[in-house]
């Protein structure tokens, strides 16, 4: 049986996922066979495995840190919110159904056998499993049915490192308050404390570390510096994208507490300016990791927006994936964004729809099976497709070559692409369209079900070249690096940071090495 270690946090957003990935990378570098595990994840950013199973994006990144292919055993329960009280429940990578929060919390202990079985399968081939908790371990109203924090630590007999986030302030209160609300048995499982995202001179913090011993006898396992990393992040439904409404505010804030992008929009008449890509910030946006690649490309500014005026400044408008296509389409109409997108299409501004955004670009969406509550809604009418939802969920990885495309996108025809599909139902093309469904184009509008399409360097470089030419931007075409290469480099950098900031002797002792 594999040894284990659990990383818990004082709250959501303290950096549990990244700390887990980094510790896994350190252990792998030191010659151990390691695997990640998170019993239950709540996220709208997900990943499809080679077997066509759906897991949290964080566990896919953690698998990469281990040098493993992602597996549904690494995240046996995935909760995908569809509204304020309803979520789709994914068990062992496949949809179990939609549930109200109250019903799920009442019955979730019935999933313990699935959790235990997944963990046992992982442990057969691993020396060490690093387990990630969720949110806070001391939500006292949820303690009795806990299957992801201390409840799981007890089931798996796992020692715990507790992480707090110093960036917003109050880290000592976070740590002490969390430990104080634990039962004696739970407290005994906590073998070390981590302060994450520290900025500045760590010697200024040392008096506080010493003073803290008066209140708590759990040792500190390290103070990890704030480090900007180009790594996928996702956690709970509360961690949505937020953005100032006007481009002139120059800010994009991704509300994961650890990523703030501040980019300037230059004069549009400057032929050396950056390209402006605007992603519609849908209320139920999902898989916004589709656009992480643009954050790492020189000469490209990425913005998430939710107002009409900002769209006028965009060189490319993207409607992203969504967990509730019909509700987000209604929201587009309510905000006047549907009319604005149609207006921009008439002005030949390039528009791309991914998955749910692709469905919105069509003529209609029929939900006769009640997947999203039922009904038929009219689409934006920019692509000649009609979509019908069914209870069957399409989950698969995709490797394809773009068909012969028309209009603005013709130069990206016959280009290799790869990614994955996650969607309910299918879209039917008019007789007048090409019967190639990996990518559909009409004039300046492109639609696809393929998440991760921009992670294909050749496709994205051709797209940027087209956008530069269309907008008279005289810049060298940026080199687009394979996302996996970028992430491997960043994982190694993260491991270096943890080697310098964590007491690895303590960590290894806690694991039992």
One domain, residues 495 and 433: no
Instruction: Note the pLDDT of residue 269.
Output: 61
Instruction: Note the pLDDT of residue 488.
Output: 96
One domain, residues 191 and 316: no
Give the total number of structural domains in the chain. 2
Q: Which residues pair with 397 in a beta bridge?
A: 420
- Token pair 């990469």 is found at 64
- Token pair 């002139």 is found at 248
Return the structure tokens found at 344. Answer: 């921009």
Write the burial class of residue 298 (CB in 10 Å: 0-12 exposed, 13-18 middle, 19+ buried): exposed
Instruction: Note the pLDDT of residue 160.
Output: 99
One domain, residues 54 and 116: yes
Return the structure tokens found at 309. Answer: 């005026």
One domain, residues 202 and 286: no
One domain, residues 88 and 216: yes
Give the domain range for residue 106.
3-231+487-511
Residue 482 lies in a domain: no
CB environment 441-459: b (16+ within 10 A), e (fewer): bbbbbbbbbbbbbbbbbeb
Write the burial class of residue 301 (CB in 10 Å: 0-12 exposed, 13-18 middle, 19+ buried): buried
The number of beta carbons lying within 10 Å of the beta carbon of residue 408 is: 21
One domain, residues 201 and 248: no
66 is catalytic: no
The number of beta carbons lying within 10 Å of the beta carbon of residue 411 is: 13
CA–CA distance, 287 with 42 (Å, rounded to integer): 13
Residues in the chain: 513
The CATH number linked to 503 is 3.40.50.300
One domain, residues 224 and 300: no
CA–CA distance, 188 with 458 (Å, rounded to integer): 53
List the catalytic residue out of 216, 346, 438, 451.
451
One domain, residues 39 and 158: yes
Residue 480 lies in a domain: no
CA–CA distance, 183 with 180 (Å, rounded to integer): 8
The CATH number linked to 416 is 3.40.50.880
Q: Which residues pair with 321 in a beta bridge?
A: 286
One domain, residues 73 and 100: yes
> Do residues 43 and 236 lie in contact, with contact meaning Cβ atoms separated by under 8 Å?
yes
The number of beta carbons lying within 10 Å of the beta carbon of residue 484 is: 10
In a 13 Å sphere around the CA of 259, the CA atoms on its Cβ side amount to 20
261: nearest Cα among 248, 252, 250, 273: 252
> Do residues 475 and 468 lie in contact, with contact meaning Cβ atoms separated by under 8 Å?
yes
CA–CA distance, 188 with 179 (Å, rounded to integer): 10
Residue 417 lies in a domain: yes
186-234, pLDDT tens digit by residue?
Answer: 999 999 999 999 999 999 999 999 999 999 999 999 999 999 998 876 5
Residue 451 lies in a domain: yes
* Residues whose CB is less than 8 angstroms from the CB of residue 236 and which lie 6 or more positions away in sequence, other chains included: 12, 42, 43, 134, 135
Residue 236 lies in a domain: no
* Residues whose CB is less than 8 angstroms from the CB of residue 204 and which lie 6 or more positions away in sequence, other chains included: none
CA–CA distance, 197 with 221 (Å, rounded to integer): 14
Residue 346 lies in a domain: yes
- Which residues of the chain have a pLDDT value below 70? 233-269, 431-437
> Do residues 122 and 2 lie in contact, with contact meaning Cβ atoms separated by under 8 Å?
yes
One domain, residues 195 and 316: no
* Residues whose CB is less than 8 angstroms from the CB of residue 96 and which lie 6 or more positions away in sequence, other chains included: 89, 90
Vertex 344 angle, CA 251 and 372, to 5°: 80
CB environment 256-292: b (16+ within 10 A), e (fewer): bbbbeeeeebeeeeeeebbbbbbbbbbbbbbbbbbbb
190: nearest Cα among 142, 144, 137, 145: 137
55: nearest Cα among 118, 112, 142, 138: 118
One domain, residues 433 and 400: yes
DSSP 209-276: HHHHTTT--PPEEEEEEP----------TT--EEE-SSGGG-EEEETTTTEEEE-----TT-TTPPEE
List the catalytic residue out of 355, 423, 435, 438.
355
CA–CA distance, 79 with 91 (Å, rounded to integer): 9
Residue 177 lies in a domain: yes
Return the structure tokens found at 302. Answer: 């990425």
CA–CA distance, 4 with 197 (Å, rounded to integer): 24
Residue 159 lies in a domain: yes
> Do residues 372 and 466 lie in contact, with contact meaning Cβ atoms separated by under 8 Å?
no
264 is catalytic: no
DSSP 320-349: -EES-HHHHHHHHHHTTHHHHHHHHHHTT-
One domain, residues 137 and 105: yes
């Amino acid at each position: 049986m594999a040894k284990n270690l659990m990383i818990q946090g004082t709250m959501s957003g303290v950096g549990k996922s990244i700390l887990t990935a980094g510790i896994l990378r350190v252990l792998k570098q030191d010659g151990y066979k390691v695997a990640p595990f998170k019993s239950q994840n709540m996220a709208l950013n997900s990943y499809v495995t080679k077997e066509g199973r759906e897991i949290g994006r964080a566990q896919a990144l953690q698998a990469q840190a281990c040098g493993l292919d992602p597996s549904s055993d690494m995240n046996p329960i995935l909760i995908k919110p569809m509204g304020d009280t309803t979520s789709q429940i994914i068990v062992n990578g496949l949809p179990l159904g939609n549930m109200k929060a109250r019903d799920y919390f009442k019955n979730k202990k019935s999933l313990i056998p699935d959790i235990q079985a997944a963990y046992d399968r992982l442990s057969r081939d691993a020396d060490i499993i690093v387990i990630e908790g969720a949110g806070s371990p001391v939500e006292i109203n949820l303690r009795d049915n806990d299957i992801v924090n201390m409840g799981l630590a007890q089931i798996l007999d796992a020692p715990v490192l507790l992480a707090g986030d110093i960036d917003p302030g109050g880290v000592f209160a976070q740590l002490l308050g969390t430990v104080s609300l634990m039962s004696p048995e739970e407290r005994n499982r906590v073998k070390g404390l981590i302060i994450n995202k520290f900025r500045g001179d760590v010697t200024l913090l040392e008096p506080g570390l010493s003073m803290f011993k008066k209140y708590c006898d759990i040792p500190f396992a390290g103070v990890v510096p704030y480090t900007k990393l180009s790594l996928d992040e996702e956690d709970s439904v509360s961690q949505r994208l937020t953005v100032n409404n006007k481009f002139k505010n120059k800010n994009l804030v991704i509300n994961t507490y650890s990523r703030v992008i501040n980019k300037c929009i230059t004069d549009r008449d400057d032929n050396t300016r950056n390209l402006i890509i605007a992603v519609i910030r849908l209320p139920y946006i999902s898989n916004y990791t589709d656009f992480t690649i643009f954050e790492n490309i020189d000469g490209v500014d990425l913005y998430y927006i939710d107002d009409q005026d900002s769209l006028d400044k965009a060189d490319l408008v993207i409607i992203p994936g969504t967990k509730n296509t019909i509700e987000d389409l209604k929201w587009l109409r309510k905000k006047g964004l549907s009319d604005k997108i149609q207006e921009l299409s008439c002005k030949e501004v390039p528009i791309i729809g991914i998955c749910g955004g692709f469905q919105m670009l069509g003529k209609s969406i029929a939900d006769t099976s009640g997947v999203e509550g039922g009904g038929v809604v009219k689409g934006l009418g920019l692509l000649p497709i009609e979509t019908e939802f069914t209870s069957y969920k399409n989950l698969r990885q995709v490797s394809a070559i773009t068909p012969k495309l028309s209009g603005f996108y013709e130069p990206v025809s016959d280009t290799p692409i790869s990614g994955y599909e996650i969607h309910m139902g299918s879209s039917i093309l008019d007789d007048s369209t090409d019967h190639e469904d990996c990518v559909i184009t009409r004039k300046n509008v492109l639609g696809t079900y393929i998440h991760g399409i921009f992670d294909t360097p050749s496709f994205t470089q051709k797209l940027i070249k087209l956008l530069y030419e269309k907008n008279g931007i005289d810049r060298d075409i940026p080199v687009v690096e394979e996302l996996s290469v970028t992430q491997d480099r960043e994982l190694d950098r993260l491991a270096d940071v943890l080697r310098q900031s964590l007491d690895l002797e303590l960590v290894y002792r806690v694991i039992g090495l």
